[in-house]
């Protein structure tokens, strides 16, 4: 047993050792794909270089290979925007009414002191009034500074301007202040506060202009004494101060913001940089040098950018292939096919890109850009086709870009993406080659719609002739795409041994020579194969596997029985079982030979390898218990040691199922045969039989080499049970109280 396991592992290692599963070959194929992308996109994306000499005339007109900033025009626009920004002034409410109150309170206190002489009071007023106002102002400014309400520069501006505009009360007025009575002060205080509040409501840049209005305001007040009006005027003038200050920092910030808001002025890609014959000045030479358009300057950045684009595209495909459920993540043959599809698609795009220079931009709409997507859907995977469609749209936007305003022309990219995605939805479940023609019609329809949308959004004027020509080419592109795909499909199927859905439908035709042979020579096996196909397809679709592959594989899985049809029970109608006359070892050899015989016949008729694999693997290394026990009994009856008969001698040679589809066909094969052997199967018997067979194969390790999960096995069991109940419903014994109703309903 151990030796057999070792031999089987050796065979498996040999299968995996080939180039189709080599990691290094996979990396080499992705590198090859990157090189193909680089060569295809090099011309459109890497700008041309010129042999220019300083002080010499340009030999030909030079156009901008990319969008280039016009720095001189941009700087001028920024300065113009900064000049339009007005100076920033801050208006500050000092609430100087409180200062008025403090001044009058101080005067009231000094005048009320009878011990202080008149001359001493006059001397005090020379400094006290100004100091009270200055202290108030300094406190307000310090509060601004402590709370950081304004910038340090503005605080300094406020302090400086307030100090510069301090008012000095005349000497003759100071001699009148000590004579004020308490009643005079009480009468002057509210009037002074009201006038200060009224005047300070305005924005004051120069306090002197506002102080000129004080006399008029006081004369219009309720004060009757001439001395009171005179003193009040001077105190109000002293309290009045500027409240509008120039904010240099805010102004500079606003100007800087205005400069930043100016959008750069560009010379668009394709616009004239230097006209032929123009003398190359230092400025023009520096511009060419800065943009790496001189032949002696290596344009590494464009190459690096192109390499980054290619790296991202290849990485996208690599990560997708790595996480896909299909076999492309470890099958280099399929990856090579993907490389070929991309190469052919890019070649077609380049051909039509060259034709654009002769026939005009409209010819690009005729390009069969969706052919790569359709081939990937049919031959590989739908998910991969969606990602590839994005890449094809990207490549089309680069290759078909004639205006060279941006690195990509969104119009061609958008149209390509639309027709590629529409082809996916139409072709993903194709079962006949006529479906490809229908998909071509759908591509034409969506291509025309996309072209109309681009025309309606275009700012340039389009003549009716150009519009009709574009629409005609768009419609023709869909037809051309379907024709190219139909022509290329046989090449891929033959060169890569691909079993496409279209191919599977073709070989599942009952008129195929092998299926006719199966029907005419082994009708029991043919019926059994049809039933297995129905069961396996339902089970496969329930877990997301390839249901069509399971159905077609089931049709051919027992084709080897046509070599010795009478030795298989489903073909033993009204004949004696030949196994009753031969030894169990010979019976075993005949039975286990049918997978190998079937593969040989399938190879002879060039049936794809996936079908061959199902035929070879559907029994795995399962155990032929009936002939094993028969051999044991025969050995005992002949006086031989029964222990010489081992289980290993009565097992199929394998290999075990390598795919979900092969495992599902094997389960359906056993289940159908087992349930068919029951005379009148009940619901419980069918359910028990299905679970018993699956558990037996699981315990025997028949699923160890495929990626079926326990959850999927439960889904398979449930699906097979439901399908079998539908097939054998007429044979199921229903409870007695419902028999009459069932018979009545058929």
Q: Is the pLDDT of residue 17 over 50?
A: no
Nearest to 173 by CA among 220, 214, 115, 222: 214
Q: Which two three-digit tokens encode residue 334?
A: 């399929």
For the chain, give every domain's residue range: 2-44+299-498, 89-246, 504-745
Percentage of residues of the chain with pLDDT beyond 70: 90
State mean pLDDT over 649-667: 91
CB 368 within 8 A of CB 348: yes
* Cα–Cα separations (whole angstroms), residue 737 to 731, 743, 746: 16, 12, 16
The band of 729, judged by pLDDT with boundaries at 50, 70 and 90, is low
214, 194 Cβ separation under 8 angstroms = no
Task: Show the tokens assigned to 348.
Answer: 């077609």
Tokens (6 digits) for 155: 């605080």
| Residues 548-568: b if buried by 16+ CB within 10 A, e if exposed | bbbbbbbbbbbbbbbbbbebb
Range picked from 149-153, 432-436, 595-599 for highest mean pLDDT: 595-599
Per-residue pLDDT at 432: 65
Report residue 520 as tokens: 């005419």
Q: Is 330 exposed, middle or buried (0-12, 13-18, 19+ CB in 10 A)?
A: middle
CA dihedral defined by 314, 317, 321, 327, rounded to 10 degrees?
Answer: -90
Confidence band for 360, pLDDT divided at 50, 70 and 90? confident
> Is residue 731 reached through a cis peptide bond, with omega within 30 degrees of 0 on the bond before it?
no
Residue 16 structure tokens: 């995996």
543-578 pLDDT tens trace: 988 888 899 999 999 999 999 888 888 877 777 888
**Lowest-confidence region among 31-40, 95-104, 465-474, 712-721:** 95-104
Cα–Cα distances in angstroms (integers) from residue 182 to residues 42, 172, 178, in the given order: 97, 21, 11
- Over residues 318-344, the pLDDT tens digits come to 888 777 655 677 778 888 889 999 999
Residue 397 φ then ψ, to 5°:
-65, -20
Q: Which tokens belong to 176?
A: 């009148």
Confidence check: pLDDT of 671 > 50: yes
Task: DSSP letter for 273, please.
Answer: E
Q: Which carries the bigger pLDDT value, residue 248 or residue 49?
A: 248
What is the pLDDT, as a whole number, of residue 537?
92
> pLDDT value at position 406?
59
Most confident of 133-137, 568-572, 671-675: 671-675
The overall average pLDDT reported for the chain is 82
The stretch 214-227 carries a mean pLDDT of 85
CB-CB neighbours of 618 under 10 Å: 28
Supply the angle between the helices 513-521 and 547-556 in degrees, to the nearest 10.
Answer: 50
Q: What's the pTM?
A: 0.55
How confident is the model at residue 540, as a pLDDT? 92
Measured from the Cβ of residue 69, the count of other Cβ atoms closer than 10 Å reads 13
746/21 Cα distance (integer angstroms): 55
**Under a CB-based contact definition with an 8 Å cutoff, are residues 452 and 471 in contact?**
yes
Please give the Cα distance from 370 to 240 (Å, whole number): 82
* Cα–Cα distance measured from residue 324 to residue 545, given in angstroms and rounded to the nearest whole number: 13
Mean pLDDT, to the nearest integer, of 31-45?
Answer: 84
Identify whether the C-beta of residue 670 lies closer than 8 Å to the C-beta of residue 625: no
| CATH for the 504-745 domain, from 2.60.40, 1.10.3470, 1.10.3210, 3.40.720 | 1.10.3210
Model confidence at 619, pLDDT cuts 50, 70, 90, reads very high
- Split at pLDDT 50, 70, 90, the class of 407 is low
> Per-residue confidence at 436, pLDDT binned at 50, 70, 90?
confident
Mean pLDDT of 335-356: 89
pLDDT band at 711 (very low <50, low <70, confident <90, very high): very high
| SS3 of residue 567 by DSSP | helix
In order of 48, 67, 69, 398, the CA distances from 291 in angstroms are: 11, 10, 10, 20
* Torsional sign, CA 294, 300, 302, 307: positive
Ranges of H-type helices in 410-463: 410-427, 434-457
Q: What is the pLDDT of residue 66?
A: 62
Q: So what's the pLDDT on residue 617? A: 93
Token digits for 726? Answer: 């539908």
Could you give the angle at the alpha carbon of 435 between the alpha carbons of 431 and 439, nearest 5°?
A: 135
pLDDT tens track for 274-285: 888 888 887 777
CA distances from 132 to 112, 157, 196, 403, 708 (A): 18, 21, 16, 76, 94
pLDDT (tens digit, 9 = 90+) per residue, 463-515?
788 888 889 998 999 899 989 998 888 888 778 777 777 778 888 888 889 99
């Amino acid at each position: 047993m151990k030796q057999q396991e070792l031999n089987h592992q050796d065979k498996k290692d040999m299968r995996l050792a080939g180039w189709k599963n080599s990691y290094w070959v996979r990396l080499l194929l992705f590198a090859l794909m990157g090189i193909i992308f680089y060569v295809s996109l090099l011309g459109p994306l890497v700008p041309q270089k010129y042999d220019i000499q300083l002080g010499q005339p340009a030999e030909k007109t030079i156009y901008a290979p990319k969008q280039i900033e016009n720095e001189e025009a941009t700087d001028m626009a920024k300065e113009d925007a900064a000049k339009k920004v007005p100076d920033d002034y801050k208006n500050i409410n000092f609430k100087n009414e409180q200062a008025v109150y403090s001044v009058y309170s101080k005067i009231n206190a000094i005048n009320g002191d009878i011990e202080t002489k008149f001359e001493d009071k006059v001397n005090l007023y020379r400094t006290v009034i100004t100091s009270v106002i200055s202290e108030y102002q300094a406190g307000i400014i310090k509060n601004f500074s402590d709370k950081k309400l304004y910038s340090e520069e503005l605080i300094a501006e406020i302090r400086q301007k307030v100090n510069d505009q301090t008012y000095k009360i005349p000497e003759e007025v100071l001699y009148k202040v000590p004579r004020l009575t308490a009643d005079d002060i009480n009468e002057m205080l509210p009037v002074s506060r009201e006038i200060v509040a009224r005047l300070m409501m305005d924005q004051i840049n120069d306090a002197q202009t506002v102080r000129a209005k004080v006399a008029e305001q006081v004369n219009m007040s309720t004060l009757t004494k001439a001395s009171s009006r005179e003193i009040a005027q001077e105190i109000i003038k002293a309290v009045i101060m500027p409240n509008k200050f120039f904010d240099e920092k805010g102004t500079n910030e606003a100007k800087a913001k205005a400069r930043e808001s100016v959008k750069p002025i560009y010379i668009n890609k394709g616009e004239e940089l230097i006209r032929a014959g123009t003398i190359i000045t230092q400025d023009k030479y520096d511009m060419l040098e800065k943009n790496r358009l001189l032949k002696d300057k290596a344009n590494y950045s464009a190459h690096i950018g192109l390499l980054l684009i290619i790296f991202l595209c290849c990485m996208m495909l690599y990560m997708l292939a790595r996480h896909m459920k299909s076999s492309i993540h470890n099958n280099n043959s399929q990856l090579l096919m993907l490389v070929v599809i991309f190469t052919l698609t890019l070649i077609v795009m380049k051909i039509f890109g060259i034709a654009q220079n002769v026939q005009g931009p409209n010819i690009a709409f005729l390009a069969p850009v969706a052919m790569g997507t359709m081939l990937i859907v049919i031959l590989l995977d739908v998910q991969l086709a969606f990602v590839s469609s994005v890449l094809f749209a990207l490549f089309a936007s680069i290759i078909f870009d004639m205006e060279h305003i941006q690195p990509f022309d969104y119009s061609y990219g958008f149209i390509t993406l639309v027709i590629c995605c529409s082809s996916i939805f139409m072709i993903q479940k194709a079962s006949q080659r006529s479906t490809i023609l229908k998909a071509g019609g759908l591509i034409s329809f969506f291509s025309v719609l996309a072209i109309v949308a681009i025309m309606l959004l275009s700012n340039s004027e389009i003549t009716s002739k150009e519009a009709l020509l574009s629409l005609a080419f768009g419609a023709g592109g869909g037809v051309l795409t379907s024709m190219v795909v139909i022509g290329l499909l046989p090449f891929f199927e033959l060169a890569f041994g691909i079993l496409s859905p279209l191919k599977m439908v073709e070989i599942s035709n009952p008129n195929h020579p092998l299926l006719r042979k199966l029907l005419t020579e082994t009708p029991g096996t043919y019926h059994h194969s049809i039933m297995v196909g129905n069961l396996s397809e339902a089970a496969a679709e329930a877990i997301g596997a390839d249901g069509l592959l399971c159905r077609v594989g089931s049709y051919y899985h027992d084709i080897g029985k046509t070599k010795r049809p009478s030795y298989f029970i489903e073909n033993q109608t009204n004949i004696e079982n030949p196994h009753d006359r031969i030894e169990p070892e010979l019976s075993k050899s005949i039975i286990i030979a049918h997978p190998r015989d079937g593969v040989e016949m399938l190879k002879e008729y060039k049936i794809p390898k996936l079908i061959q694999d199902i035929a070879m693997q559907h029994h795995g290394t399962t155990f032929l218990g009936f002939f094993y026990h028969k051999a044991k009994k025969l050995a005992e009856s002949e006086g031989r040691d029964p222990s010489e008969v081992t289980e290993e001698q009565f097992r199929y040679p394998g290999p075990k199922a390598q795919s979900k589809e092969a495992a599902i066909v094997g389960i359906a094969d056993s289940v159908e045969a087992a349930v068919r052997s029951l005379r009148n199967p009940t619901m419980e018997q069918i359910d028990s039989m299905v679970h018993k067979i699956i558990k037996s194969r699981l315990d025997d390790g028949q699923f160890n080499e495929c990626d079926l999960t326990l959850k999927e096995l439960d889904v398979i069991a449930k699906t097979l049970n439901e399908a079998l109940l539908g097939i054998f419903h007429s044979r199921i014994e229903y409870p007695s109280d419902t028999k009459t109703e069932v018979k009545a309903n058929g």
